[in-house]
Amino acid sequence: MSFPGNFLWGGAVAANQCEGGYLEDGKALSVPDMLLGGNVNTPRTFLPQIDDSAFYPSHEAIDFYHHYKEDIALFAEMGFNVFRLSINWARIFPNGDDDKPNEAGLAFYDAIFDECAKYGIEPLVTLCHYEIPWNIVTKYGGFSNRKTIDLFLKYTETVFKRYKDKVKYWLTFNELNITCREIHGGQHALFSLGLMDEEDINSKERIPLSKLKTNPQRMFEALHNAFVASALAVKMGHEINPDFMIGNMIAHRTYYPLTPNPADIMACLKEDEVGNGLTGDVQVRGEYPSYIFRFFKENNIDPSFITEEDKQILKEGTVDMYTFSYYQSSCTSTDPSAERTQGNMGTGIKNPYLKASDWGWQIDPEGLRYTLNKLHDRYPHTPLMVVENGFGAFDTVEEDGSIHDPYRIDYFRSHFKAMSEAIEDGVPLIGYTTWGPIDLVSAGTGEYAKRYGFIYVNRHDDGTGDFSRSKKDSFYWYKKVIESNGKDLD
């Protein structure tokens, strides 16, 4: 086993999925505050105004807002030396366009970073993890408006300057690339870019996320503006503190051709290029890849939004590290009748060699080694970090309060083996954070029941539970893994 001595081991959360305190201390609404819960068979719904009679999982989430000291102490007990979290933009600039930042919001993150420092834990901070202030959506049209680039940079400058001596590792946007996989669907356009169709904004009815509308032209323009915002943030960060390590964050879906039919192989290449490659290439190489212009043409997208000045910005704002989430792989096929996995948003074409989780996410540890190798090939000079990986499952609390989760341990064990193989292969993997080291609200389904944590949280989809924390078997197992720097996986 071959993890380097300074390897970063930890866990990752997002503000809207754990904090709660949704209107406390000056925070205003952000996109996820408007989302109701669903489950594997029922999509989450969106209502453009708050319905006081409905249950919104993110409003209290797991109440990290009031439990952060206890939670960070538990992370420290497991031996974390890194903790990935996001800053909720709407805590700092509640409406996105306020003149001055909200001091109470800034103080909250100061307190978190100070708590991390007490235990020698490095924060890894995502600037925008599906948390665009709602006012930016309704008043400016999210990132479809270039004014939003300025608003994002004002927020970014504020937090970079405030925390420059407390935070070294930053990520600009979470998983911008998912938007490219659903160019006619509006879910991720809303989550990541704050884009909403006028008709949807004015809806009086709940809209299932899968029915939100967008159009590819507007979506790619907004994505481009987010690329520019990200590049300008990287440049600014390096000016504020040259020691900052600033990364992108890609939702990596690994694709395999379903058959050796060359048509499937080509389809697989194309899906990977658009679904993973475009965002990574722009953010790591600093330019749009040539293959995307044919895709634009075939989808009637006019790329004239890419100006000469923007091209220069993208060149100057390339990231210091490529980070990504990895949960699963899927297949690509030109056969329209190819069987798909049953599940929520992570569905894809079924791989006959793989098992899937209860949410239809196909479990593929070998695919992580493959992905790490491919990414290193593609970006040979860029360090890599896995910043989300984990197993969403139903957990059972025994009568004595214990929680036995061997399925989660098995998932992690096999993925850690795959990472160590990749390191042996020569991949510069610098760190790893599990998704949801503590149970939290699922982004895809809005459930508590889809649990990822080493730490159980007593909170349920019917709104019951006292938010108390307890340790699952996997808690002790991960502690041992970190203590042995990945050697002891038994």
- Shortest separation between residue 359's beta carbon and ligand BGP, angstroms: 7
- Shortest separation between residue 328's beta carbon and ligand BGP, angstroms: 10
Type of residue at 453 = G
Q: Are strands 321-325 and 245-251 parallel, antiparallel or unpaired?
A: parallel
Catalytic one among 221, 388, 421, 447?
A: 388
Is 325 an interacting residue with respect to ligand BGP (CB under 6 A)?
yes
User: Per CB under 6 A, which of residues 339..368 are in contact with ligand BGP?
Assistant: none
Is 442 an interacting residue with respect to ligand BGP (CB under 6 A)?
yes
By C-beta, is 14 or 429 nearer to ligand BGP?
Answer: 14
CA-to-CA distance for 488 and 483, rounded, in angstroms? Answer: 8
CB 396, CB 403: distance < 8 Å: yes
Is 94 an interacting residue with respect to ligand BGP (CB under 6 A)?
no
CA-to-CA distance for 252 and 182, rounded, in angstroms? Answer: 14
| 3-class DSSP assignment, residue 94 | coil
Q: Among 214-222, 236-244, 402-410, 439-447, which window interacts with ligand BGP (CB under 6 A)?
A: 439-447
Is 194 an interacting residue with respect to ligand BGP (CB under 6 A)?
no
Q: Among 195-203, 269-277, 362-370, 440-448, which window interacts with ligand BGP (CB under 6 A)?
A: 440-448
Is 450 an interacting residue with respect to ligand BGP (CB under 6 A)?
yes
Among 8, 9, 11, 14, which residue interacts with ligand BGP (rule: CB under 6 A)? Answer: 14
Closest by CA to 14, choosing from 71, 117, 92, 87, is: 87
Is 18 an interacting residue with respect to ligand BGP (CB under 6 A)?
no
Instruction: Find how far residue 136's CA is from the centre of its chain.
Output: 20
Q: Which two tokens stand for residue 207?
A: 């809209």
Active-site residue 175, yes or no?
yes
| 3-class DSSP assignment, residue 32 | helix
Is 174 an interacting residue with respect to ligand BGP (CB under 6 A)?
yes
CB 247, CB 321: distance < 8 Å: yes
User: Per CB under 6 A, which of residues 131..170 are in contact with ligand BGP?
Assistant: none
Is 443 an interacting residue with respect to ligand BGP (CB under 6 A)?
yes
Is 435 an interacting residue with respect to ligand BGP (CB under 6 A)?
yes
Active-site residue 316, yes or no?
no
- Shortest separation between residue 175's beta carbon and ligand BGP, angstroms: 5
CA-to-CA distance for 123 and 244, rounded, in angstroms? Answer: 12
Catalytic one among 175, 221, 421, 447?
A: 175
Closest by CA to 252, choosing from 379, 133, 127, is: 379
Is 422 an interacting residue with respect to ligand BGP (CB under 6 A)?
no
User: Per CB under 6 A, which of residues 372..391 are in contact with ligand BGP?
Assistant: 388
State the DSSP string of 411-464: HHHHHHHHHHHHHHTT--EEEEEEE-SB----TTT--SSSB--SEEE---TTS-
CA-to-CA distance for 300 and 218, rounded, in angstroms? Answer: 11
Site string for ligand BGP, 271-300 (x = CB under 6 A): ------------------------------
Among 175, 221, 272, 405, which residue interacts with ligand BGP (rule: CB under 6 A)? Answer: 175
Is 446 an interacting residue with respect to ligand BGP (CB under 6 A)?
no
Among 141, 343, 392, 437, which residue interacts with ligand BGP (rule: CB under 6 A)? Answer: 392
Residue count of the chain, please give it: 490
Cα pseudo-dihedral 209, 214, 218, 221, rounded to 10: 30
* Site residues, ligand BGP (CB under 6 A): 14, 17, 174-175, 251, 325, 388, 392, 435, 442-445, 450
Q: Could you give the residue numbers annotated as active site? A: 175, 388
